[in-house]
Structure 1
Amino acid sequence: MAAATAPDGEGSATPPGGDGTGADAVPSGVRADGAALGARARGEGIPLLLVPTTAAAEHLDPLARQPRLAGTARILRYRRRGYGASPPAPRPGSLVREAADALAVLDACGTGSAHVLGDSFSVAIALELALAHPGRVRGLVLVEPPPLLAPGAEHFLAANRELLDLHESLGPVAALEALQDKVAGPHWREDLDAVVPGMSERILLDAPTVFAVDIPALLAWTLPAERAAALSCPVLHIEGEAHGPLFATVGDWLRGLLPQTRTAVIPGAGHDVAFTHPAQVAAEIAGFLTQAAPR
């Protein structure tokens, strides 16, 4: 979800019609199971695929603009189905299909293997991609994973079911506004638009995908320990120091599941750390990319 604090780091405005990163469109486009997805690539360094989260398709824009990443990585980005100009997402939602779409982006970009970054909801997509196609994923950057499977998950599950009930009774826009008011505060529209102009309006336009596709897909997803044990790639876990009690058990759970995980805690940041503290997050990622053993 999008945060209520303007980010640190360089620049804040996203030019109309662009993604604000100076990235070039992938000439061939992306064909994923018959669907055309927009994709962009920037830089010449170590391949890094940014998988968009739910609700806020532009949540990773501030991170993608960071000079530290531009000097280290070839940043690959795309719009998930159901967001912006991408085609509608099929229902019911499926994280297996989402991972297949991400793989199609790597193919369209001519990338044999890449590091893959998941942000909140999209951590599950990144993990699913790595599990299904381990030879295509050099390493994982998992930013604020959802507490779906961690101890205390019942609170997260209950909160999401309440959102789905609100969606059923009042519709997607009202449900997303209620969610933003709760997690980002009453001034979330102004705060978002100060960083990415027009973002608050666009997340409301994309709200149907959040409740009809993304949340049900996430709640249906599982990651048994025996399946996770097959993951051998390096893992960087990034969390905000002030992300709140709902996410308090995620780090220990993740390190228990994937012992190769290294955790970086960003001081003063909440759950939306990639949006509010992109310079610090970029520095952690750049170090991870250069240290991770190549394949």
Structure 2
Amino acid sequence: MSYDPIDHDFERGLNNRRAILGDAWVDRSLGNANNFNADFQNLITRFAWNEIWGRPGLEPKTRRAIVLSITTALGRWEEFDLHVRAALLGDEATRLTPDELKEVLIQSAIYAGVPAANTAFTHALAILREVGPQIGYALDPAAPGNASHPGVGREGRTDSRDKARPSLHYTVREPRNGKAPRHTVVLSHAIGCDLTMWDGLANQLAEDSRVIAYDHRGHGSSESPAGAYSMADLADDAAALLRELDTGPVVWLGLSMGGMVGQELALRHPGLVRALVLANTTSGYPQAARDAWKQRIATVNEGGIEAIADAVMGRYFHDGFRADHAATVARFRRRVVSTDTVGYTGCCNAVGTVDTTARLAAIQAPTLVIAGELDQGTPIEMSQTLVDGIPNAKLEILRQASHLSCIEQPEAFSRAVRDFIVEL
């Protein structure tokens, strides 16, 4: 039997400590050890850095965030400063960006209190002024009044002085990576929905792109002019929005009605469209379906949107999704029934009379068509018509997806969109 002189708990802890705090700090700490504090150094190395940091159940970046939150809550500013510096300058795999650090401190304000977070920001700013040049981060002036929630974006409305066009509500998310946008992506929602249907995808795409989402006329917080709308009206609304925001050519991503608007936009205003993603949509309905849209308008005018709400949910979501995600379905139902009746019926007319099939060959933008395997409102055959008509269009069919495929299959939808955009 041999005796191993190595204390493996200590060595593992020391290795973790160096990986998280850096060699310079650890060497300085060990070099300053003496007969009074050596036992304590041994203790924290074995227990904090091996027993806790050595557990694989959480990523090191997550543990960094926990330590920063706790030291903020407890006001342990020497430890806080140590871990802020290590988080900003550490190994790339475990490093926190300044924006990630900011999110930790903002969340700490809610759970640990604003005074604690205020002090934490003061300490973090002092360290950022020191290490900013090393990590390529500049503390530029910024007006608090112009700050916007990164998960929502900056909100605005189009100029309502043009009486020919309704004022549209929109949001703009700038790229979170702080660089020039790779693309400007515009997200256009389905009838009876609003721009919030895109929140999950919008936040993913905003990693490196400028993302604009908006409410169609008659929906959400946009104006509802009287009358029966046409798809040309909706496309011209979109063109006015893009010109007001000076977007240049955009990647247009529209689902259902939003996809119909995208087709018309690409035909009427081709210079504004860089590429198209047309999801769960069509270029035209057979006569029976056109008659059904007319009947829907009549039913809503007589009994309100509540009269059709359950039937709409049956088309939006398949049976299995409605059974397993009742709260999500209820949220979309509330949105449908709260939509302005004038706006809803006006858009029903635009959707029911959509007719771009004979003109699809004129669309020159790269196009991805997304279909839902279970979509009864715009079945795969309608998507195939788009693919056949638009030069070099590609088709992606999402399994176990009905009409609102981005809600039922968000991961698959996002993957299809991002794989398409990255090739542009």
When normalised by structure 1's length, the TM-score is: 0.78
| Aligned residue in 1 for 2:353 | 220
* 2:342 counterpart of 1:205: no
Q: Please say if residues 234 and 260 of structure 1, whose CA atoms lie closer than 8 Å, have aligned partners that are also in contact.
A: yes
| Aligned residue in 1 for 2:232 | 96
| Aligned residue in 2 for 1:257 | 389
Give the Å deviation of 1:72: 3.8
Q: Please say if residues 55 and 210 of structure 1, whose CA atoms lie closer than 8 Å, have aligned partners that are also in contact.
A: no
| Aligned residue in 1 for 2:133 | none
> Relative to structure 1, is the Cα distance of residues 19 and 175 closer, same or farther in structure 2, using a 3 angstrom cutoff?
farther
Pairing partner for 2:260 from 120, 124, 141:
124
Give the Å deviation of 1:237: 0.6
Give the Å deviation of 1:61: 2.8
- Structure whose residues are more often strand by fraction: 1
3-state secondary structure, aligned to 1:249: helix
Pairing partner for 2:201 from 58, 63, 85:
63
Q: Could you tell me how far apart the structure 2 residues matched to 1:210 and 1:36 are?
A: 13
Q: Could you tell me how far apart the structure 2 residues matched to 1:277 and 1:229 are?
A: 30
Q: Please say if residues 192 and 200 of structure 1, whose CA atoms lie closer than 8 Å, have aligned partners that are also in contact.
A: no
Q: Could you tell me how far apart the structure 2 residues matched to 1:251 and 1:237 are?
A: 7
Q: Please say if residues 384 and 395 of structure 2, whose CA atoms lie closer than 8 Å, have aligned partners that are also in contact.
A: no
Q: Please say if residues 117 and 142 of structure 1, whose CA atoms lie closer than 8 Å, have aligned partners that are also in contact.
A: yes
Which amino acid is the alignment partner of residue 61 of structure 1?
D
Give the Å deviation of 1:54: 0.6
* 2:162 counterpart of 1:24: no
Q: Could you tell me how far apart the structure 2 residues matched to 1:281 and 1:185 are?
A: 16
* 2:316 counterpart of 1:180: no
Q: Kindly provide the CA deviation profile for residues 13-60 of structure 1, in whole angstroms up to 9, marking residues without a partner as x.
A: xxxxx999331224xx41263333222111333111111221111332
Q: Could you tell me how far apart the structure 2 residues matched to 1:192 and 1:111 are?
A: 38
Q: Could you tell me how far apart the structure 2 residues matched to 1:235 and 1:127 are?
A: 10
Structure 2: any 5+ residue segments left out of the alignment?
Answer: 1-147, 176-180
Larger Rg: 2
Structure 1: any 5+ residue segments left out of the alignment?
Answer: 1-17
Give the Å deviation of 1:91: 1.0
* 2:402 counterpart of 1:270: yes
Which amino acid is the alignment partner of residue 284 of structure 1?
A
Q: Kindly provide the CA deviation profile for residues 115-147 of structure 1, in whole angstroms up to 9, marking residues without a partner as x.
A: 111101221111111111111100110001137
| Aligned residue in 2 for 1:80 | 216
* Greater RCO structure (CA 8 Å; 6+ sep): 1
When normalised by structure 2's length, the TM-score is: 0.56
RMSD over aligned Cα, in angstroms? 3.0
Which amino acid is the alignment partner of residue 386 of structure 2?
L
| Aligned residue in 2 for 1:14 | none
> Relative to structure 1, is the Cα distance of residues 130 and 192 closer, same or farther in structure 2, using a 3 angstrom cutoff?
farther
Please list, as runs of the form range in 1=range in 2, the aligned pairs for 1:106-125 lying within 5 A after superposition.
Answer: 106-125=242-261
Q: Could you tell me how far apart the structure 2 residues matched to 1:109 and 1:87 are?
A: 18
Q: Could you tell me how far apart the structure 2 residues matched to 1:181 and 1:19 are?
A: 34
Give the Å deviation of 1:209: 4.2
Q: Please say if residues 242 and 269 of structure 1, whose CA atoms lie closer than 8 Å, have aligned partners that are also in contact.
A: yes
Which amino acid is the alignment partner of residue 191 of structure 2?
T
Q: Please say if residues 19 and 61 of structure 1, whose CA atoms lie closer than 8 Å, have aligned partners that are also in contact.
A: no
**Structure 1 stretch 184-193 or stretch 166-175: which is displaced more?**
184-193
Q: Please say if residues 143 and 239 of structure 1, whose CA atoms lie closer than 8 Å, have aligned partners that are also in contact.
A: yes
Q: Could you tell me how far apart the structure 2 residues matched to 1:275 and 1:70 are?
A: 18
- Structure whose residues are more often helix by fraction: 2
Q: Could you tell me how far apart the structure 2 residues matched to 1:192 and 1:180 are?
A: 11
Which amino acid is the alignment partner of residue 99 of structure 1?
A
Q: Please say if residues 283 and 356 of structure 2, whose CA atoms lie closer than 8 Å, have aligned partners that are also in contact.
A: no
Q: Could you tell me how far apart the structure 1 residues matched to 2:400 and 2:149 are?
A: 27
Q: Kindly provide the CA deviation profile for residues 162-213 of structure 1, in whole angstroms up to 9, marking residues without a partner as x.
A: 4234324423321234332565479969947448x95432321105146520
Q: Please say if residues 250 and 274 of structure 2, whose CA atoms lie closer than 8 Å, have aligned partners that are also in contact.
A: yes
State, as a whole percentage, how many aligned pairs show the same letter. Answer: 23
3-state secondary structure, aligned to 2:191: coil
Q: Kindly provide the CA deviation profile for residues 51-102 of structure 1, in whole angstroms up to 9, marking residues without a partner as x.
A: 122111133233223x3x2324211111122122221133121221211111
| Aligned residue in 2 for 1:4 | none
What is the number of residues matched between the two proteins?
266
| Aligned residue in 1 for 2:412 | 280
Give the Å deviation of 1:230: 1.8
Q: Please say if residues 130 and 137 of structure 1, whose CA atoms lie closer than 8 Å, have aligned partners that are also in contact.
A: yes
> Relative to structure 1, is the Cα distance of residues 185 and 282 closer, same or farther in structure 2, using a 3 angstrom cutoff?
closer
| Aligned residue in 2 for 1:10 | none
**Structure 1 stretch 132-141 or stretch 175-184: which is displaced more?**
175-184
| Aligned residue in 2 for 1:7 | none
> Relative to structure 1, is the Cα distance of residues 242 and 248 closer, same or farther in structure 2, using a 3 angstrom cutoff?
same
3-state secondary structure, aligned to 1:60: helix
